[in-house]
Amino acid sequence: MEKSRTVSYSQTTITELMIPSYANFGGKIHGGILLSLMDKVAYACASKHAGAYVVTVSVDGVNFLQPVEVGELVSLHASVNYVGRSSLVVGIRVISENVITGELKHTNTSYFTMVAKDENSKPMTVPALILETEEDIRRCLEAVKRKRLREQFKDDFDNEKCALHLQNDLPLLEGERVMIRPL
């Protein structure tokens, strides 16, 4: 029988206090610190589902909606939303808490695609995903739609890049805040 695991089996949360050394020159937390934490929780969640070593292949939807402050407690909640043959899409919801006031901020939701590798560093088949709740099903359907749109976007953009013509496409720069020096 095909090996399978529930979404809840690998759900993972990492919580970390935002210390002053994580801050940028403006006193807010560096985006790179949050990205690193997201990669860490994605790894923990995906490798638990796969029962194997995983690598990060792509990242979707990283938009920092609100700044995170020093002293806040950041929690990253990760779930496997979808599995292919060797790939897994992990959805990560990032919540930042002001520990003094208890105020919670949803700073972003992002999707990391991870691929499981075997001992020879080749992509390996991961267990199927058992969807137990409406939320599991909704997230999985969203992941399928996102995957299709991404493939469509890639095809469309590859075509646009091939068709790019320096002179003919120059009007696209009208209204943009760029200046072209005479060549």
Answer yes or no: are the C-beta atoms of 42 and 56 closer than 8 Å: yes
- Binding to ligand COA (CB under 6 A): which residues in 26-85? 55-58, 84-85
Query: Residue 136: enclosing H or E segment and its boundaries?
Result: helix 134-163
Pick the closer one to ligand COA by CB: 22 or 43.
Answer: 43
Q: 58 or 152, CB closer to ligand COA?
A: 58
Q: How far is the CB of 39 from ligand COA (least distance, A)?
A: 8
3 state DSSP class of 164: coil
For the chain, how big is the Rg over CA atoms in Å?
20
Q: Is the dihedral of CA 116, 121, 125, 127 positive or negative?
A: negative
d(CA 141, CA 135): 10
Of 76 and 116, which has the nearer Cβ to ligand COA? Answer: 116
Is 123 among the residues that bind ligand COA (CB under 6 A)?
Answer: yes
Q: Give the footprint of ligand COA on residues 124-183 (CB under 6 A).
A: none
User: Rule CB under 6 A: which residues touch ligand COA?
Assistant: 55-58, 84-87, 113, 115, 123
